[in-house]
Homo-oligomer: A and B are copies of this chain.
Amino acid sequence: MNERIKRLREKMAEEKLSAYIITSYENYRYFSGFTGSNCALVILKDDCFALTDGRYDIQIREQAPGFSHVIISRSMHEHIAELIPCGARVGYETHTITDFMLRNIKSQSENSEFVPCPDFGEEIRAVKDDGEISAIHRAVNCSDEALAALIPQITRGMTERQAAALLEYEMAKRGSEKAAFSTIAASGLHSALPHAEPQNNEIADNSLFTLDFGATINGYCSDITRTLIIGNPARELQELWELVFDVQQKCIQRVTPGMRASELDEYQRSLFAEHGMEKHVMHSLGHGVGLAIHEAPTVSRRSDTILQKNMVITIEPGLYIENLGGVRIEDTVLVTADGAEVLTKAPHRINIKL
């Protein structure tokens, strides 16, 4: 039995569950190894089932050899319900399972009790093992190298969208399975939108240009943001950049196992407040990265997570000022036994002459 399933069964035992249904992509991949797009797992005390459809008949046998395989011939929920023992106490992933799936499983398992559970899979995934850290490290290197390859290709007349396309291609050439998320490329005033979609407008001179992107290796993501300094931006923008960079570095130095993640977010806000800039903070400081681009732990004011060794998080403070522009600087960071290792190696300060 694999170590991950063992940890899941410990959580099942704590909640007195005799069955647990997994429906989210990252969790079925994490526990079974199966990478196809349609799957559910049913974990019992003494058996593990992996269900998929006929498209993946060969693939699931290759990727999830430790599981009993079910190739569904009717709706997924019917097959799941059939695997649940009569009278079971059944946990499920309340944050991701759909109402439709759950109602239908319940209606066909009338003698069982259903218990909404926090995302046990995500909780277990928050602390990474060596293989996972290695995959994330490779994904980080891949996005770092892609950025280095992009920089000399940025020329006058290039659009946000062209830059994003080229960056994603440079990652793919270096082994990224796919962009970890849709690349954000935002120039000039557009950079005041924290999650701007790339447009067909040209990269503005004497301005800031924010790129937020990530690679995927073996399913594991990296996440990096750089705000490039194009030409000679207005002093106000340059000061904004320096402030965000300073706060980002201070936050990274604060990372320690045993601290509350919420403290880190409060810390960035207090640093920005010293400059009267707190009202321009539009998102929390960071988030865990792994099979999902956003996963536990959340690094926000509302987080109750205690940071632990081998968690991987982003540190990404940002300031956004409408009709002026924005800055965000983000590294992917491994929590170590006594602090943090910054996995991202790309330089922070990148000056471009168009």
Contact = CB atoms under 8 A, between A and B. Distances in A.
A92 interface: yes
Contact of A57 (B164, B196, B282): B282
A1 interface: no
A13 to B, nearest CB: 23
A283 interface: yes
A195 B162 contact: no
A221 to B, nearest CB: 14
For A35, A161, A178, which residue has the most chain B Cβ atoms within 10 angstroms? A178
Closest 3 CB pairs of A and B: A165-B172, A169-B169, A55-B194
Interface of A: 35-37, 53-59, 92, 94-100, 102-103, 116, 161-162, 164-166, 168-169, 172-173, 175, 177-179, 182, 192-198, 200, 282-283, 322
A31 to B, nearest CB: 19
B195 A36 contact: yes
28 contacts: A53-B283, A54-B282, A54-B283, A55-B193, A55-B195, A55-B282, A55-B283, A56-B194, A58-B192, A58-B322, A59-B193, A59-B196, A94-B100, A94-B103, A98-B99, A99-B99, A99-B102, A100-B116, A161-B175, A161-B177, A164-B172, A165-B173, A168-B168, A169-B169, A169-B172, A175-B200, A177-B198, A178-B182
A95 to B, nearest CB: 5
Given A164-B172, A172-B165, A95 B98 contact: yes
A337 to B, nearest CB: 34
Contacts of A197: 35, 177
Nearest to A38: B195
A57 B279 CA distance: 13
A96 B173 CA distance: 35
A206 to B, nearest CB: 22
A318 to B, nearest CB: 9
A117 to B, nearest CB: 10
